[in-house]
Every structure is written in C-alpha cells, then in structure tokens.
Structure 1
Amino acid sequence: MTENENPIPFEQSLQELESIVKKMEQGELSLDDSLKAFERGVALSRQCQNALKEAELKVAKLTAEGTLEPFNLGTDMEESGQ
C-alpha cells in the first residue's frame, strides 16, 4: 500500500507510529524487522505531516484574512460569552 491509497485516520497513524517507536527503542527487533518498522514509520510520519498540512490550509482558508491568529483560551471564551 502506498501513502495515498486508503490513508488511515490521523489519530490511528499517530498511535501506530508511537507503537513502532516504542518497539524500536526497546532494541529487541532483528535488523530486518527494524528496517521494516523504520520504513513503515517513515510512511506514517509523512502521512501525518500531510494531514496536518491539509488541516492548517483549511484553517487558514476559513480565517478572514488567511492568516492564523493566536488563540487565547481565556480571552476568546470571555469574548464569546462562555
């Protein structure tokens, strides 16, 4: 499966990537398994990066001027009356 075929949800990709990192950090994988895990990790990392870029573009598109504005939880909630 390539990166663009049926991408898995961001959260699932991130969870799998974290699992791969833990396994590799334990140092108990064979060289072959380590290389396969590394290859899968790179693919997942790229998929996550692409998902984040897409989300950032959507947010930028939804803002009035196309710029991301800092979010201050306390101030923004007071202004919205919550």
Structure 2
Amino acid sequence: MKARIPKHREFLISFPEDMDQARQDEAWGKLNQILEDYKKEGKSVYTPTFIEDCQDKVDVLKAEYGFDYTIELR
C-alpha cells in the first residue's frame, strides 16, 4: 500500500546549548499548546497557511525563551 504525504512547511526549533532542560520542556509545552489550539480549529500542519497562522505566536515564545527556528519544506 502506498500513501502520499503532502509537502508542507514546518518550524524546526533549535534551543541554545546552554539552556537547561526544564526551560526547554516549558517552551516545548507552550509550542505544543499552539499546535493543539490550532488543531481545535480543525486545522493541521498540512494546512497551507499553517506557518502564517502560527508564526506570530511562535515569535512571542522565541522572544521569551531565546530559541531559533527555521522554516523548511518537508
């Protein structure tokens, strides 16, 4: 059986090496909450506007936690 997964863009998060694990876990929890809230709207990471819909919220967390991200086509 074959399945075709549509191409989509996604955030690739990179935490600073000197960030402690508890702070990373806290940030991941908040990033996952953004995704869960997005799913509650009936959308997924395959929604064509996923990046645009979530980028402002991710940027707020980026400023708070100091991580970097790139956006890649997968």
- TM-score, normalization by structure 1: 0.33
Which has more strand, going by share of residues?
Answer: 2
Which has more helix, going by share of residues?
Answer: 1
Greater Cα radius of gyration, structure 1 or 2? 1
Higher RCO, Cα 8 Å, sep 6+: 2
